[in-house]
Amino acid sequence: MSYYKHHIFFCLNQRSGGEACCANHDAQAAFDHCKARVKAEGLAGPGGVRVNKAGCLDRCAGGPVAVVYPEATWYTYVDKTDIEEIVEQHLKQGRVVERLLLAPDVGR
């Protein structure tokens, strides 16, 4: 058994020179909202969910991005509603949110 049931990483990377990056899509606010929702739902901590910041995840063209482990499910999102859906469906119920999946060929 894993220490956490789910581990979600949010790319918060900022690039200079106008390059595509998750920070330009308010990724910090999405991270903060996810962390608050996970805590409010009682999902945080050992045996539950860990919400973490990440540097560049090298999927910039699809940003903003987050990845859930152990499934290695990559998501893109637009707003807090999308984050709510990831928390409720994936982190709470274990169901992948198909409409938010990042296409497998999207890279930097």
Domain span at 20: 6-100
* CATH code, domain with 69: 3.40.30.10
Assess if residue 1 is contained within a domain. no
CA distance 31 to 83: 9
Per-residue pLDDT of the chain (108 residues; tens, 9 = 90+): 689 999 999 999 998 887 889 999 999 999 999 999 999 999 999 999 999 999 999 999 998 999 999 999 999 999 999 999 999 999 999 999 999 999 999 887
Assess if residue 107 is contained within a domain. no
When divided into structural domains, the chain yields a total of 1
What is the full DSSP assignment across 37-78? Answer: HHHHTT-BSTTSEEEEEES--S-GGG-SEEEEETTTEEEE--
pTM: 0.94
